[in-house]
Amino acid sequence: MTRSGHNVGHVSNVTRSKHNIGNVSNVTRSGHNYKFAYNISMDIRRYYTPGHVVFITQVVNHRQPVFQNSETIFLLKEIFQNAKEIHPYKMLAFVFLPDHFHVLIQPKGNSNFSQIMHSIKRNFTVAYKRSMNFKGDLQFWQKRFWDHVIRNEKDLENHLHYIHYNPIKHGYVNEMEDWKESSFLKWYKLGAYSGEEKWVEPLHGTWGE
């Protein structure tokens, strides 16, 4: 993909003539002309089922950067995978950061996101304690998680981009593809990104982190 190496940064520095965050618009910053990065070039409608896609943010208790360790991420992925057998769902997108994660999930059948998340949190804590040979009480996760039911296709795009942009937002990398623990590459290969867009942080929304 083509990237010039500029970090566009936060949208507060960007002059925009439109407030429709869902569309491509030209933005001007420091005399440069950027194509606003909300252009997902593929048709993502087929990924959207009204009322059934949920954005989740979960933070580690006290923001311990436990997931700096790739083995711990591996364990979490296993737990996510195993949970599907009891509470079926599809994972549309994810990003695992050192002290939190964001996912877009689509519960299937009778399962719901609340059950899914409680199951994952509980099972992970058990597995983590076992892996650390720790027997005491452990509040691994923050008790609450942030959830948001996706309202429409634009909202899906918005959250999909938020997830993939997240490692940049939190200062870990400068390019989305440089963060291995996200679904960016999957969506890139699906044709969601033209490779020419510049990415800026979403304007609207509350994300839980």
Q: Which stretch binds Ni ion (CB under 5 A): 20-28, 39-47, 84-92, 201-209?
A: 201-209
Cβ contact 9:168 at 8 Å: no
Residue 118 CA to residue 201 CA, distance in Å, equals 29
Among 180, 177, 201, smallest CA distance to 188 is for: 177
Enumerate the H helices of 43-202 as residue ranges.
70-86, 113-132, 153-169, 184-189
Q: Is the Cβ of residue 75 or residue 163 nearer to Ni ion in the bound state?
A: 163
209 binds Ni ion (CB under 5 A): yes
Which amino acid is located at 208 in the chain? G
| Residue 196 Cβ vs Ni ion, minimum distance, rounded to whole Å | 25
166 binds Ni ion (CB under 5 A): yes
Tokens of 132: 């650390």
Q: Which stretch binds Ni ion (CB under 5 A): 5-13, 124-132, 139-147, 166-174?
A: 166-174
Residue 77 CA to residue 73 CA, distance in Å, equals 6
Residues 1-40: x where in contact with Ni ion by CB under 5 A, - otherwise, as a string: ----------------------------------------
| Residue 169 Cβ vs Ni ion, minimum distance, rounded to whole Å | 6
Exposure class string for 81-103: b at 16+ Cβ within 10 A, else e? eebbeebebeebbbbbbbbbbbb
| Residue 166 Cβ vs Ni ion, minimum distance, rounded to whole Å | 4
| Residue 54 Cβ vs Ni ion, minimum distance, rounded to whole Å | 16
Number of residues counted as binding Ni ion (CB under 5 A)? 2
| Residue 95 Cβ vs Ni ion, minimum distance, rounded to whole Å | 7
Q: Which stretch binds Ni ion (CB under 5 A): 36-44, 59-67, 109-117, 164-172?
A: 164-172
Kindly state the DSSP code that residue 90 receives in the 8-state scheme: E
142 binds Ni ion (CB under 5 A): no
Residue 1 CA to residue 16 CA, distance in Å, equals 25
Q: Is the Cβ of residue 48 or residue 179 nearer to Ni ion in the bound state?
A: 179
Tokens of 175: 């390019």
Residue with tokens 């869902």: 22
Residue with tokens 């593929």: 42
| Residue 176 Cβ vs Ni ion, minimum distance, rounded to whole Å | 13
* Residues that bind Ni ion in the complex, under the rule CB under 5 A: 166, 209
